[in-house]
A and B are shown apart, each in its own frame.
Chain A
Amino acid sequence: DSGVTQTPKHLITATGQRVTLRCSPRSGDLSVYWYQQSLDQGLQFLIHYYNGEERAKGNILERFSAQQFPDLHSELNLSSLELGDSALYFCASSPQLGFNEQFFGPGTRLTVL
Chain B
Amino acid sequence: EDQVTQSPEALRLQEGESSSLNCSYTVSGLRGLFWYRQDPGKGPEFLFTLYSAGEEKEKERLKATLTKKESFLHITAPKPEDSATYLCAVQASGGSYIPTFGRGTSLIVHP
Q: What is A's interface to B at a CB cutoff of 8 Å?
A: 2, 4, 33, 42-43, 45, 48, 56, 58, 88, 90, 92, 97-99, 101-107, 109
Contact = CB atoms under 8 A, between A and B. Distances in A.
Interface in B95-109: 96-99, 101-104
Nearest to B51: A99
Interface residues of B, number: 21
A45 B100 CA distance: 8
A42 B41 contact: no
Contacts of B99: 45, 102
A98 B101 CA distance: 16
Interface string B76-90: 000000000001000
Contact of B104 (A42, A45, A92, A101): A42
A101 B96 CA distance: 15
B43 A42 contact: no
Contacts of A45: 98-99, 101
B96 A56 contact: yes
Contact of B98 (A56, A90, A103): A56
B91 to A, nearest CB: 6
30 contacts: A2-B45, A2-B46, A4-B43, A42-B102, A42-B103, A42-B104, A43-B44, A43-B87, A45-B98, A45-B99, A48-B98, A56-B96, A56-B97, A56-B98, A58-B98, A90-B43, A90-B44, A97-B97, A98-B97, A99-B32, A99-B97, A101-B46, A103-B46, A104-B36, A104-B43, A105-B43, A106-B42, A107-B41, A107-B43, A109-B41
